[in-house]
Structure 1
Amino acid sequence: MSQSQSQNGLFIWTPEQLLAATAQLNGEWIGLEAADSPSLNATRIITDTRKIEAGDIFLAIVGENFDGHSFVKAAVEKGAIAAIVSQPVEDLRVPQLKVEDTRLAFGQIAAYRRQQHPNLKVIALTGSSGKTTVKEMLRHIFTQVEAAHSSEQSTTLVTRGNLNNDFGVPMMLLELEQQHRYAVLELGANHVGEIAYTAAMVKPDVACILNIGTAHLGEFGGRDNIAKTKAEIYQPLTEASTAVVPFDDDYTQQLTTAAKTYTPNVSLFGWRQLDEKGNSLPGVYATEVETTALQSHFKLHFGKQAAEVEVTLPMSGEHNVSNALAAAACAYAAGINPETIAAGLNQATSSKGRLGRQALGIHQIIDDTYNANPNSMRAAADVLAAQAGYKILVLGDIGELGEASSDEHNKLGQAIADKSVDVLLCAGEFAKDMVVGAKSQGMQQAYEFATKAELLPKLQAILAEKNEQQQPCTLLFKGSRSTTMETLIDDLLSTEG
């Protein structure tokens, strides 16, 4: 990107560039001749009128329950200097770029923007669980890269929140600035073809699948379809790109075969070594793994005869060792040296709702309420089992499992019964299934409740008893986003306080 195309590091959109970006959608300017076209330059394209500032371009997205065309005039009143529409708005005093579909135009404009950064290294992530944690680990690794180069500006763009769908990914790409050297972008999927669509606009240099679990099982109709959908992330890869594949997954072979269709460079990560003497050792792996209640220590290896570094990850749980290996494999494929990767992992911390800790008198609360799927629920139970004191697991339902919901919750209950957990408290529609599963494996201290409000008194009674005995407890809370299990933590803290 030339200096004439940027202003304070921001990309400047011109009418010609927007036409080029939307050519496949027959982009056509209306009213441009009457406007002062030399001044029709903008650094921001905005889809939300609440965020419009003077000088922005408004893009009228059409969704299932809304139509941005209804807000075009409001956007102009707030200072928008042009609008991108599929249906021209009458009596508008600013130029309009008419396209066939504004949502597709959003993706085309984002793809065009990505192409203006040919030296950008892009890492794209997908998987059934762990995406946000790996993304944050990579953020810490690239922070170490910036520190090594004494960079005063952030040189890495990282997906914010859950902006990982066909709307969120282009939103992130439009935030690219001239100083960015790396981008870590999360790609999610609610339907077949969505990752293919976002991956094509992102054009990753490194594409990573973390795992194939059972999240969104109901929407995809089985794990085979989930694997096929996640593998779409490899489609834009070239001979210069790298596919990162989980070594410990049931679908390792299928994912590797899919990746090799597009690139010869396949890097596997995993910490369970199936055969150290043969060729089945992953390219990035861990040895001497020790997980405690607060952290995980291991030796991180890159290739059979390559570098070896020690890592003390300030996160507990074997699943976070796997997440760290995925982050390391991605960073290594992007050209980051092992020492910098280890330094970043040593600084990595959990984000809110992801195994965060707080005290409740003599007790310890672990907040893992950000989201849940069967794999992450089992991993959370493992984390709790490694803690000190009396262990209480408080679970809400797992969403998006479709017809498999009852069976998956029952299996989860059975798995929890085999772990060192003292009490299981479940709230929600499928609480009974979890409890039946747990009791079938001999766990007697398992209780079901229809709502969180009904669960709270039981939890308070257990804590009151343990307070009398001066026995510290560790409580772990988890559930799908829809269950908002964090409100139960808030209720407990407010009543105990």
Structure 2
Amino acid sequence: MHTSTTSTDVLMPWSAQELAEATHGTWYKGRLPQTLVKRILTNSRDAEMDDAFLALRGTRFDAHTFLPQLSTQGCRIAIVEHPIETLEIYQLVVKNTRLALGHLGAFRRQACRDLKVVALTGSSGKTTTKEMLGSILSLLAPTLVTRGNLNNDLGVPMMLLELTQQHRYAVMELGANHQGEIAYTSGLVSPDVAGILNIGTAHLGEFGGREGICRAKSEIYQHLNPFGCAIIPQQDDFTLKIQAHTQHLQCLSFGQDGDVYATKIQLNPESTQFMLHTPQGVSQIQLPFAGIHNVDNALAATAFALALEVPLDVIAQGLARAVAVKGRLNFIRKKQHLFIDDTYNANPTSMLAASKVLSQQSGIKVLVMGDIGELGDTAVFEHQQLGQQLSQDNIDHIVAVGEYAHVVCAAATGTVPITAFETQAQARPYLIEMIKKHQPQTMSFLFKGSRFTHMETLMADVMETL
């Protein structure tokens, strides 16, 4: 398997002329470094000899203040908006360092002529689909895959700077906190294949509704290669609106009634089997992921791969080898109990999907849920909806933790009891006592919440008591 390469000794070096050309900058006092630049970094603490430090500036910080310490670390090159005359380092002056970072990422992407780039976005499933697709493509050639949450206007160009001449594929996840962000990042990556997984309720507050989310996500098609392929979800509420943005493009759809779809789906506690139907044929898929939502993610990954002309047998092999990201439905066994770590992040759609996975498990099934953020004025309503829907699932108990826990609890209309706590410190002894009470029965716990809730901390605290 060809893994994603990030080692600095294989990165393409930069000459002083290339840096100036890419950023539209000028070297202060005409002083140019004669050595090649190995890395471009935004963290001054990591900057060493042969690195260039790019000084970002925001509303609450200005990295230009770190410039004086650079030379003590051996770093002699900086990309700045305003030079400091007293410093004995080479300074490339640009109008805006944030935009300069984007220019550098785009410059590096355009330098990789043999590279095929996939850009994907969606309200949920981006991380898992990205990893599935990376697993498929890496069977064929070196593949760069977005790490962690490097999917915004800073993270995307930082990932592009890791491209090497060895890479043949790049899978770029594009996120959005505001209108225009995906238009910007998709312009940097110039995708050969671009697609939307779904239009959900993540970041609902920033966009004022799902219509706004759809407009923001659909920006991903603006910079698609004219001969490229647009991937669209066939069964989304906003499918018709997405199609309106892709009328002039070659398209491939996934989901029921789409070009790529699944039949004979068998949901197991920790895996899934299904028949994969594509324009290239049919294949039996063994997917090491639980949940019907991961079938959708696999269908999307398949559509992206088919658009790159990947053979169906390679797709099946790649899906079978895919590995879940930490915090994404990781199954951990402690004594007779199962702990499912799904704490990476959450939105209403993914919380409901997680509950369905929990319902497939054995023993007493407990959902431990934290608050969901970035819902804006709809936060109370969305948590009420979750209380109504989750309380009707085939699980045994819900423990809600956070500011909106009481909202979830009050909205319950089903038979599943919900207990609310404002803090993890309050919930911890309750969960520990619950385990003691039900000894020696098997229990299955699923922990999930938005990133800021750090539900993994509560899970670890409970597990330590066993």
TM range (shorter): over 0.9
Partners of 1:299 and 1:310 within 8 A in 2: yes
- Matched position secondary structure for 1:185: strand
* Structure 2: distance between partners of 1:296 and 1:478: 21
* Structure 2: distance between partners of 1:428 and 1:301: 43
Identity %: 48
- Matched position secondary structure for 1:133: helix
* Residue in 1 that maps onto 2:222: 235
**Structure-1-length-normalised TM-score:** 0.90
Partners of 2:395 and 2:416 within 8 A in 1: no
Distance 1:238 1:143, change over 3 A: closer
Partner residue of 1:447 out of 411, 419, 424: 419
* Residue in 2 that maps onto 1:121: 116
* Residue in 2 that maps onto 1:11: 12
Partner residue of 1:61 out of 31, 56, 60: 56
Task: Using the TM superposition, give the Cα deviation of residue 79 of structure 1 relative to its aligned residue in structure 2, in angstroms.
Answer: 2.2
* Residue in 2 that maps onto 1:132: 127
* Residue in 2 that maps onto 1:472: 442
* Structure 2: distance between partners of 1:108 and 1:349: 33
Q: Deviations over 1:79-115 (max 9, x none)?
A: 2232211101112223321111111111111111111
* Residue in 1 that maps onto 2:195: 208
2:197 matches 1:199: no
| Superposition pairs of residues 222-371 of structure 1, within 5 angstroms | 222-261=209-248, 264-270=249-255, 273=256, 281-303=257-279, 306-371=280-345
Task: Using the TM superposition, give the Cα deviation of residue 117 of structure 1 relative to its aligned residue in structure 2, in angstroms.
Answer: 0.8
* Structure 2: distance between partners of 1:425 and 1:165: 33
Task: Using the TM superposition, give the Cα deviation of residue 444 of structure 1 relative to its aligned residue in structure 2, in angstroms.
Answer: 5.2
* Residue in 2 that maps onto 1:217: 204
Question: In structure 2, what residue type is equivalent to 1:311?
Answer: I
* Residue in 2 that maps onto 1:106: 101
* Structure 1: distance between partners of 2:277 and 2:457: 41
Task: Using the TM superposition, give the Cα deviation of residue 175 of structure 1 relative to its aligned residue in structure 2, in angstroms.
Answer: 0.7
Task: Using the TM superposition, give the Cα deviation of residue 284 of structure 1 relative to its aligned residue in structure 2, in angstroms.
Answer: 1.1
2:116 matches 1:94: no
2:387 matches 1:413: yes
2:34 matches 1:47: no
Task: Using the TM superposition, give the Cα deviation of residue 337 of structure 1 relative to its aligned residue in structure 2, in angstroms.
Answer: 0.8
Partners of 1:163 and 1:172 within 8 A in 2: yes
Task: Using the TM superposition, give the Cα deviation of residue 40 of structure 1 relative to its aligned residue in structure 2, in angstroms.
Answer: 3.3
- Matched position secondary structure for 2:216: helix
Partners of 1:40 and 1:81 within 8 A in 2: no
2:373 matches 1:382: no
Distance 1:445 1:10, change over 3 A: closer
Partners of 1:31 and 1:95 within 8 A in 2: no
Partners of 1:293 and 1:386 within 8 A in 2: yes
* Structure 1: distance between partners of 2:383 and 2:414: 16
- Matched position secondary structure for 2:153: coil
2:367 matches 1:397: no
Distance 1:462 1:326, change over 3 A: same
Partners of 2:274 and 2:285 within 8 A in 1: yes
* Structure 1: distance between partners of 2:183 and 2:103: 14
Question: In structure 2, what residue type is equivalent to 1:75?
Answer: L
* Structure 2: distance between partners of 1:82 and 1:260: 47
* Structure 2: distance between partners of 1:76 and 1:282: 58
Partners of 1:385 and 1:420 within 8 A in 2: yes
Q: Deviations over 1:114-171 (max 9, x none)?
A: 110121000111111111111111121123224xxxxxxxx11111111111111111
Gap regions ≥5 residues in structure 1: 1-6, 147-154, 274-280
- Matched position secondary structure for 1:145: coil
2:138 matches 1:143: yes
**What root-mean-square deviation, in Å, do the aligned CA atoms of Structure 1 and Structure 2 show?**
1.5
- Matched position secondary structure for 1:418: coil
2:400 matches 1:426: yes
* Structure 2: distance between partners of 1:91 and 1:457: 58
Aligned pair count reads 459
Q: Deviations over 1:264-311 (max 9, x none)?
A: 2111111xx3xxxxxxx31111111111111110111112xx311111
**Structure-2-length-normalised TM-score:** 0.96
Gap regions ≥5 residues in structure 2: 1-7
Task: Using the TM superposition, give the Cα deviation of residue 9 of structure 1 relative to its aligned residue in structure 2, in angstroms.
Answer: 4.2
